[in-house]
Structures are given as structure tokens and as C-alpha cells.
Amino acid sequence: MIIKNKNIFHLQGKHVSYIMAVNECGDLLHYYYGKKLRDRSYEWVKQKWSVWNGYGPDKWTLDICPQEYPAYGYTDLRTPAYSIVNKNGGTVSRLTYKSHRITENSAQEIDGMPCLFVGDKHAQTLDITLEDQNAGFEVIVSYTVFDEYDVIARSVKIVNTSDKEITIDSVYSTVLDMPKDNYELIYFSGGWAKERGMYRSAVKQGVKIDISNARGGSGHNINPFVMLASEGADETSGEVYSMTLVYSGNHSTMLECDQFGNVRLMQGINPFGFEWTLKKGECFYAPQSIMCYSDKGIGGISRELHDVMRQNLCRSKWTNTERPILINNWEATYFDFDEEKLLSIAEEAKNQGVELFVLDDGWFGDRNDEETSMGDWNVNLKKIPSGIDGFAKKINNIGLKFGLWFEPESVNPDSDIYRKHPDWIVHSPGIEPTQSRFEYLLDLTRDEVCEYAVNAVCNILSSANIEYVKWDMNRPMTDIPYKGFNHKFTLGFYKVMDFITSSFPDILFEGCSGGGGRFDAGVLAYMPQIWTSDNSDAVKRMEIQYSTSIGYPVSSISAHVTAVPNHQNGRMTSLKTRADVAYCGIFGYELDITKMSKSELEEVKKQIEIDKKLRPLMLNGDFYRLENPYKSNYCAWSMVSKDKSEAFVMCAKILSEANCEEKRVKLQGLDPNMDYIDEYTSNVYGGDELLYNGIKPEFGLYDFSTHIIYLKKYNGEIR
Ligand code: GLA
């Protein structure tokens, strides 16, 4: 709900209030963000902010004021939300309130980029137009608030109202000026095979922290999701604010703690390498950033974001539909396969209950290694003599759906498409372009290149019964020809992805980027699941899936059981541990199932039966993290159905210890007044007992031992 009371705007979500005010000088100032407040006049806010004896012409200074969209160099000398070279060549800017508009049940309109949609929820959008009359531009700051959620989605549009060109040097999508407190910044950093590690640092006066990425996609190294937490906030307690950028290009989250200890947190396109020129009348849209607030710790943020993303971000009809259990041939065969080999894998997988066979890299051109044919999207008849259509039919005849891997944005120099169009790649004139994984990136800022990518993929998709696509992208962006290129490329990527996914609405798309290098809300808008990491080791996955689940729904976290020794880190884990960790995710296999023993195959069959029962819960339950593997020798999490009648719990002991403590794991989210039966052991518990006394997982005396529990509401007698 949005309440406009004189010069005060009060946005109320489910449990949250966000209040801002226009003061006498026309500045849009921030007053409050946090637990829901009753609506009052808050008139005194305006007076308080008018009496400061500052150095501006109005005898007051913005340097000490919390603001909604601050400029630099007028009277605020902190890092600004934007920087624009105006029609006169200067950069000093002052934005003042011009007008506002409140729209019922409408999402933000962000040209060319994904954002939250309203769906069946009640939402309102507030657009406040701020103007810089001297400089000749307007900034429209937009806020969407949902009655049912604790999120506020923000975006920004800049319009050149002058008769000359203006140049945007930086434009953040969201700004949060927070009063002094003992905050901690939590962010997610890593690299290939170790994506989204969880880091936490105290925010001290004077620090300026730039959580940013300039690697082309949203990146393995830094995820565009951060949290600002009250000191010591944990999974269940403390105030936490988060920001999620709905964007897949270079991004930045900037934190500055000023001379008074006040904190400014901003999120948007990375200003580094960015520049955008607007001709007279033109406008620029910055991507959406979703703010979320919880007074129930980090877990509260996660459950809220999971709901919001599942209901109001992911557009695919698969979002709330049970996903097929797949087998992918990548770690089974790499490039070394033929039809016979693939069909033998498919047949054995079908025998155990798998539902979808995915043919990964290596099916096109003359591709037998990473060095050739990327971009030549025609089937390699030497490997697949039946062609894609014929092969898909063979897979269908086995009783499986068929899925295919693509990397639409890349080409190898050794490819027909590159030989024909060497100028189509991202390059800087006069400089030999760099290769990464023997690839160049296609220049998606050019319409004809986007058209090629769309046609190449669509032709294959319409030629056969393809029901799943894995969309990969395996290299960072180098040789960037000009400032602002990365954003233009990202818009091209969205255009291509939008066209292909909306042309084939029945296909289940999975995002991927050298593992989890583009795990972001922008991709999730089009594809409901993303390959989480090339690191498929169950123990590393405990960390990766634990921290990924903080910002993204479990229904987006693709998780496969792979062979041991693990191909990425050589670790040996039991088949049980590997599956137990993968259940809280989109479950599948990625190994040569034909090499498994009879007893292993029997185990696989049971695992698939388990997952088939669990998967509806994984799509829409509430996720609770119970033991943090970053901090202890244990990892535990659980998924609880919305009506609390069903819950799945996974507990892991990482290293085995002799004579160690008796571990108890207290569950969360259950109904204390309900009784529950563990379907795996038939043990019966009271909900209160599970919550307050916890369970004692039965760990084996070996490393990486896991214990799973599947609780169902129990109406019988307590035994
Ligand atoms: C990337 C993906 C893998 C696999 C390979 C194929 O690394 O993350 O899952 O698809 O590419 O080349």
C-alpha cells in the first residue's frame, strides 16, 4: 500500500514500512525503512531536516541527510547514486521533486530488462519524477510494493529534457541511506567450482566497499545479491536488509560508511566501464533492484525472496511444475560419445526411473574437444547419425524426454560461422582479440548477430522433440570496444533469451555459465533453474547450495549426483551422501550409469523414488538452514511445506570424529502442536519436540556421513 500524506510517502508491505519525504527545498529525503509502522503524518520529519545549519544556499547540507537519490558535489560529498555530464559540460547536479504518480496493480516498465511482475498479487508502483532544471534532465525513481511481501522493487529512468547531449557516467538503481548502527555486510564471492562462498565483514566508519564485477556476466566471483545485517544477526534473529539486482551484466553494490557512521548502500550497473549518451528526448533505464527486509534474521530474507522469485519473477510455466529427473552425459562421456553409448546410458537410466536425457556439449559441427565448431549449430552426423530429430525419437522411444545443450553466445575461431563473419565477435578494432576456452563472444549488441543466434537455436528447437535446453556461456568478456558495451550486450542477451524462451514456452530451460557463473535474478526471470556449479562434489556442494539458497529458491538450484572420485576435486563420498545433498535442489544424475554395479543401480532406483516424492515440496516449501557448514563440522537444512504437514531434513557430519559430542539439530518451521512421523524410520515425534529438543541424526563413523528424515503429519497414537 502506498500512502501519500502531504509531502510524505509511506510504502507499506506485509510487515515492512518505507518512508520518504519531500522537504521545503524539494529534496527527496529518506526517513525510515524497517518493521511496519502505523501511518501517521510524520510532519515533524520535514522540520527536523530544515534546521541544520549547513553550507547550502538554504543554509543546510545534504551531506548529513539520508536521501533517496543523491547527487555529488552540490552539498553532499559522499558517493552519489548517479553522475551525469550535463548539457553545459558540468557534473554538479541537484534533483528536486517535480511530480509523482501512483499506479494500481502495475509492475515497473523497464525497457529491455526483466523485472518483477504483479501476477495475482496486489501491488502498487510509485514513480517520483525528480528534475534538474539547470542541467536539463529528469530522473524518475520507481518503487513497487506488494501487500503480500516484504520487498520493495526499485528502478530508475533518466530522461534528457535538454536540447543537447548528456552523458551518464554512473547510475545506481537503488540507494539506501541508513542511520549509524553496528552493521555487517554479507556478500557472496568465489570463482569457478567454488561459487557464492559466504563472506561477512563488519562495517566500520570510513570504509567504502565495492562489491562489484566487471567480467561480463554477473560472474562466478561476486553475486549481485548482498545483505546488510544488524550485528550478530543469524538465521533466526536480527534485522537484515538485502538487495538483489535483476541483472546479468557487470554490477556493483557500493557501501560507504560516512563521517557520522551513517551507511549508504547502493546497487546497480557497475560504473566502471560504463558510459551512456542520451540525445535530446532520449531516456535510459537502469535495471531493477529488489530490496527485502526481515526482523527474523537471514532465514526470513531467504523465505521471502524464494516466494517472490517463484511467484513474481520466474516467467516459465515450469516454475511451479515438477521438474523431470534428468541424466546428463557430460561427466559420463565428455566429448567422447556416439549414439550407441548415449542410448545405453539412456536405457539404463530409464530402468531406474529417470525421466529426461540431456545431450550436453559435443553434438554439433566437428566438435570433439573445446577447440572447434562452437557456433556451428548443425548436428555432427558422425556422432549422431540419426540427426537430432531421429536421436530425440530414439530417446523418446526409450520412454525419456530429450534435452539439448547450447552455448548461443560463443564461437570458436575454428568454426564456419567465424570464418564467414570474423567481424561478428566482441573485439576492439586493431587489437588481436583474446580467446578463453578457445572461444570468442558473439557481439550481441548487433541486431544481425542476435538474429543469427536466435535463428540457429530456434531452427534446431523446431526440428525435433526437444523438451529441455541447457543454455551455457563459458567465458568472461574481454576486448570490450567502448564504455557501456557490456550493458548493450546484456540487453542483446535478454532480447535473444526473451525471444527464444517465449517462442518455446513448453521447453524447460536451464541456465548455466561454466557452472554457476551467471546465477542471477535476470536469468531466473527466463529460466526457472540454473546449473549451480561445475563442482559436483557433495561436500563442496553443501557450502555452495547452502549459500546459494540464501538469495535464490531451492527450485532454481540444479544439483546432480556424479561419479567418484569426484571429477573436480577427487573426493570420495558415498552414493547416499551425494543424493542426500542433491535432494534439496533440482535433482539429477551426471555419470556413466552403465558402469554402476547392480547394488548401486538398486540404490539409484530408490533415490529416484525418494526424489519423486520430495520434488513437489522442493518447488514451493519454506527452506530453513539449520547448521552452517562454513562455521562448523555440520551442515543441515530442511524444507517445510506451507501448511507445515510435511518436511524433509538433511543433516551431514563433514569429518568423522571418534568419541565426539552427541549432535542435536533443532528443526524450524514446524507446527509445535502437530505430531510427525518419519516416513523412513516410522519414528513419531511431536512438533514441539522437534523444534525445542531437536533430533539426533544417526551419522556413520566415516567422513561426509548424512542422515535424512521425511516428516509427515501424523494423526495416529504416539507410540
Ligand atoms: C560448462 C558447463 C558444464 C558442461 C560444459 C560443456 O563447463 O558448466 O556443465 O556443460 O560447459 O562444455
Residue 117 C-beta-side C-alpha neighbours within 13 Å? 15
Task: Provide mean pLDDT across the span 271-291.
Answer: 98
pLDDT tier for residue 324 given thresholds of 50, 70 and 90: very high
Q: Is 405 in the pocket of ligand 1 (CB under 6 A)?
A: yes
- Residue among 76, 132, 177, 472 flagged as catalytic: 472
**C-alpha to C-alpha distances, 653 to 37, 152, 272, 627, 697, nearest whole angstrom:** 43, 38, 43, 10, 9
For residue 565, say if its preceding peptide bond is cis, omega within 30 degrees of 0: yes
Helix (H) or strand (E) holding 691: helix 687-692
Q: CA 213, 216, 217: angle at the middle one, nearest 5?
A: 85
Mutation pick for ligand 1 pocket among 327, 330, 568 (CB with most ligand atoms within 8 Å): 330
Q: For residue 87, which of 140, 134, 157 has the smallest C-alpha distance?
A: 134
Number of H helices, E strands in the chain: 13, 35
Task: Provide mean pLDDT across the span 381-385.
Answer: 98
Q: For residue 128, which of 147, 111, 103 has the smallest C-alpha distance?
A: 103
**591 Cα to the center of ligand 1, angstroms:** 14
What pLDDT score was predicted for residue 41?
78
Residue with C-alpha cell 511431536? 686
**580 Cα to the center of ligand 1, angstroms:** 23
Task: Provide mean pLDDT across the span 124-132.
Answer: 97
Mean pLDDT, the chain, rounded, equals 95
Find out whether 532 and 515 touch, Cβ atoms under 8 Å.
yes
Residue 534 annotated as catalytic: yes
**383 Cα to the center of ligand 1, angstroms:** 19
Q: Is 364 in the pocket of ligand 1 (CB under 6 A)?
A: no
Q: For residue 95, which of 125, 124, 115, 65 has the smallest C-alpha distance?
A: 65
pLDDT tier for residue 47 given thresholds of 50, 70 and 90: low
Helix (H) or strand (E) holding 440: strand 440-441
Residue 258 annotated as catalytic: no
| Cα–Cα dist 474/469, whole Å | 16
What pLDDT score was predicted for residue 53?
47
Find out whether 310 and 316 touch, Cβ atoms under 8 Å.
no
What pLDDT score was predicted for residue 319?
97
Examine the pLDDT at 54 and tell me if it is beyond 60.
no
Atom of ligand 1 nearest to the CA of 515: 8
Q: Is 629 in the pocket of ligand 1 (CB under 6 A)?
A: no
What pLDDT score was predicted for residue 243?
98
* Between 228 and 3, residue with greater pLDDT: 228
Residue with C-alpha cell 556476466? 217
Task: Provide mean pLDDT across the span 140-167.
Answer: 97
| Cα–Cα dist 81/176, whole Å | 10
Crossing angle of helices 575-583 and 598-620, in 10° steps, is 10
3-state secondary structure of 144: strand
Report, in this order, helix, strand and coil percent for the chain, each rounded to 5: 25, 35, 45
Examine the pLDDT at 75 and tell me if it is beyond 80.
yes
Q: Is 331 in the pocket of ligand 1 (CB under 6 A)?
A: no
What pLDDT score was predicted for residue 48?
55
| Cα–Cα dist 455/463, whole Å | 12
3-state secondary structure of 251: strand
Count, residues in the chain = 719
What pLDDT score was predicted for residue 31?
92
Alpha helices in 181-314 (DSSP H): 297-312
| Residue with CA closest to ligand 1 atom 6 | 361
pLDDT tier for residue 44 given thresholds of 50, 70 and 90: low
| Cα–Cα dist 306/328, whole Å | 26
What pLDDT score was predicted for residue 106?
81
User: What's the pLDDT tens digit per position in 203-248?
Assistant: 999 999 999 999 999 999 999 999 999 999 999 999 999 999 999 9
Examine the pLDDT at 515 and tell me if it is beyond 60.
yes
**533 Cα to the center of ligand 1, angstroms:** 10
**220 Cα to the center of ligand 1, angstroms:** 14
Q: CA 436, 440, 442: angle at the middle one, nearest 5?
A: 145
Task: Provide mean pLDDT across the span 415-423.
Answer: 98
Q: Is 515 in the pocket of ligand 1 (CB under 6 A)?
A: yes
Mutation pick for ligand 1 pocket among 194, 474, 530, 562 (CB with most ligand atoms within 8 Å): 474
Task: Provide mean pLDDT across the span 302-319.
Answer: 98
| Cα–Cα dist 234/226, whole Å | 15
Find out whether 102 and 124 touch, Cβ atoms under 8 Å.
yes
Q: Is 517 in the pocket of ligand 1 (CB under 6 A)?
A: no
Examine the pLDDT at 64 and tell me if it is beyond 90.
no
User: What's the pLDDT tens digit per position in 425-473?
Assistant: 999 999 999 999 999 999 999 999 999 999 999 999 999 999 999 999 9
User: What's the pLDDT tens digit per position in 602-615?
Assistant: 999 999 999 999 99
**513 Cα to the center of ligand 1, angstroms:** 8
**DSSP per-residue letters across 30-45:** EEEEEE-------THH
pLDDT tier for residue 325 given thresholds of 50, 70 and 90: very high
Q: 152 - beta bridge partners?
A: 145, 291
User: What's the pLDDT tens digit per position in 674-714?
Assistant: 999 999 999 999 999 999 999 999 999 999 999 999 999 99
Find out whether 133 and 26 touch, Cβ atoms under 8 Å.
no
pLDDT tier for residue 59 given thresholds of 50, 70 and 90: low
Residues 6+ apart with CB under 8 A from 35: 15, 16, 17, 239, 293, 295
What pLDDT score was predicted for residue 51?
43
Atom of ligand 1 nearest to the CA of 513: 8
Q: Is 510 in the pocket of ligand 1 (CB under 6 A)?
A: no
